[in-house]
Amino acid sequence: MTQGFGDPNINKKKKKDSRYLIFYQKESQAKNFMGKGNFAAAKKIYLQLLDDKYQNHEIFFNLGAIELQYNNLLEAINYFERAKIIKLQNHEQTDTLLIQCYGKLRNYSKAREIFQESIGKHPRSEKLIFTYAEIAKEKDNFQELISLYEKALAINPNNFRALSNLGGMYEKLKEFPNAIETYKKAIGIAPDVSHLKVDYLSSKSFACDWSDEDFKKQILTSVGIVGQAISPFELLPLEDDPQKHLIRAKKFFKQRFQKTSKKLRFKLKNKIRIGYFSADFYKHATMFLMRRIFECHDKTKFEIFIYSFSDYQDIFTDKLKKNVKKFINITNISDEEAADLARKDELDIAVDLKGFTKDTRLSIFSLRVAPIQISYLGYPGTIGDNCIDYIIADKVVIPADLKKFYSEKVIYMPNCYQCNDSKRLESKKYFQKSDFGLSDKTFIFACFNANNKISLVEFNIWMSLLKKVKNSILWLYKSNNYSMMNLKKEAEKQGIQSKRIIFAEKVSNEDHLARIKFADLFLDTFNYNAHTTASDALWSGVPIVTKQGKSFSARVCSSLLTALNLEELITKDNVEYENLAYKIATDKSYLMSLRKKLKDEKLSSSLFDSKKFTKNLENIYEELISALIKDF
């Protein structure tokens, strides 16, 4: 077997030897193709060189890199291992790619074995550390990841990427003070990296740490608008500005998800084919709201296809499978493969239920999988790209004067846009107020929104209410220990005994529906309203006071209340919000009348009528298809 020119020890005179000149030229040509990204041409030359009994480390390494590019992982591993045999030392680069291969194969033990062996030889290799850290993320081994990023920082204390990732691990563990300090260090090193600032603000909001409010305002003026693209989802709880949300969405979609779209022709079929795409087809807020839709869909007119990108399944998933034509798990295939798969099902309408929320796969919609593509429910805002043709809303969440802040055409449901389960089950356990640290003798203000939705603005009003309504307490959801401590500390600072704030632990949805009825009045948050939590409270007979904003996320509670003919609970500013909450808390007859009205409206309103909602939704689907047929 002839050793190629990639061998540094080769006799340079051989290059002049006519027997080697052609090999040298071909190898140079292949390298040139590699540099231009023409991997197919490079691969063809490299394989021909191997057939001609000519080999070296670079040929095997580059063939491995090409196969990895094509996701042919076993072939890539074979070439990388052969490259290591030829080059007996300094395998850092090869090991890095081998770790990637085994990670993609989910062979985490082998990836870890290679990493440990290689890092022993290259203890200062940041590339090895970061490559293996990406694999370790899949196992959610946060302590190991923290150790890896600390190792990277020991090598280079100014590595803002290591600081960013370390901050992310602290966030996952809900160690928000550590996350805040880590992000602060990273911002000091890389002040122009926008996502560090957003992560910093997000950690502070989850911890209800309201220090540095001026810095927050400064960041929000331009983050995600100037410079690096940022997901608008993380900023929804921080400000109510639909124009900024649109600008951020456009920029973020273009950078993260935009693909070359394929024009799809509409084919008339006996039944309309609807595809729903999400990672949340299990006991998740989306399914608590939507599951009855899948049961109520008219199977004589519609065929329902589910495309799930989560391996997690439970009893909700099992029941869903029985109510749809097809359930397809696309978790472990690429967006391109998923799009091809969905296209073969010849969908008429594809519905994205994720938007910019966690585990989204908007690239599938960018590639286009149906003639009509719709955004619904999962993300309360615009996607910012024309690959989503429509957004399902109502005239409260997106009134006519705010449509300009949405890239999609707005489809209006006749009533509230939010679907609900008319057969929600409440726990059969017998609860008393004392089970949750509550008293029969107090007026109970409640807010079960995630703590990151609470800003100092709302909290100041709530403290004012506790001062004015002497025999009252505030019942909040406990997101994490740090938010609890900071909220209690802020209460004391404002002259309210911290024991007047009671925190509720996470329980099953059935138990929550049984306990929330102990609240007298639900107090909504402003930038990001109660959504599913509002439905929970209203279903259980608890009135809600909300302040209507401009963004979709700031108008959802108004939509729910409008659907129940309870517009008198919608306020327009902070003073009106506080005055109304005070009136309800101090006027027992008014509170009782609101509760009675809520009870009556719950029975007659379309908000909790799953069959009627599904029929209205299907009417919209049919209208969209009719318009397509006319064009066709």
| Paired tokens of 620 | 């919209």
239-253 tens-digit pLDDT: 999 999 999 999 999
| Paired tokens of 68 | 């990895």
Q: What is the DSSP letter of 520?
A: S
Q: Rounded to the nearest 10 degrees, what angle do helices 456-468 and 481-493 cross at?
A: 50
For residues 305 and 297, is the Cβ–Cβ distance under 8 A? no
User: Residue 462 to residues 390, 447, 519, 525: CA-CA distances in angstroms?
Assistant: 38, 10, 15, 11
User: Residue 339 to residues 255, 332, 366, 369: CA-CA distances in angstroms?
Assistant: 19, 13, 9, 6
177-196 tens-digit pLDDT: 999 999 999 999 999 999 99
Tell me how far apart the alpha carbons of residues 558 and 561 are, in angstroms, rounded to a whole number.
Answer: 5
Which residue type does 556 have? V
**Radius of gyration of the CA atoms of the chain, in A:** 29
Distance of CA 1 to the CA centre of its chain: 53
Tell me how far apart the alpha carbons of residues 450 and 67 are, in angstroms, rounded to a whole number.
Answer: 45
Match 């399944």 to its residue by tokens: 313
25-48 tens-digit pLDDT: 898 999 999 989 899 999 999 999
582-592 tens-digit pLDDT: 999 999 999 99
Work out whether the CA dihedral 411, 413, 418, 423 comes out positive or negative.
negative
Determine whether 193 is exposed, middle or buried from the number of CB atoms within 10 Å of its CB (0-12, 13-18, 19+): middle
610-629 tens-digit pLDDT: 999 999 999 999 999 999 99
**What is the number of residues in the chain?**
632
Report residue 484: phi and psi, to 5°. -60, -50
74-129 tens-digit pLDDT: 999 999 999 999 987 888 999 999 999 999 898 999 999 999 999 999 999 999 99
Residues 6+ apart with CB under 8 A from 310: 279, 280, 281, 282, 331, 359
Alpha helices by DSSP H, listed for 417-497, are 456-468, 481-493
507-535 tens-digit pLDDT: 999 999 999 999 999 999 999 999 999 99
Which residue type does 287 have? M
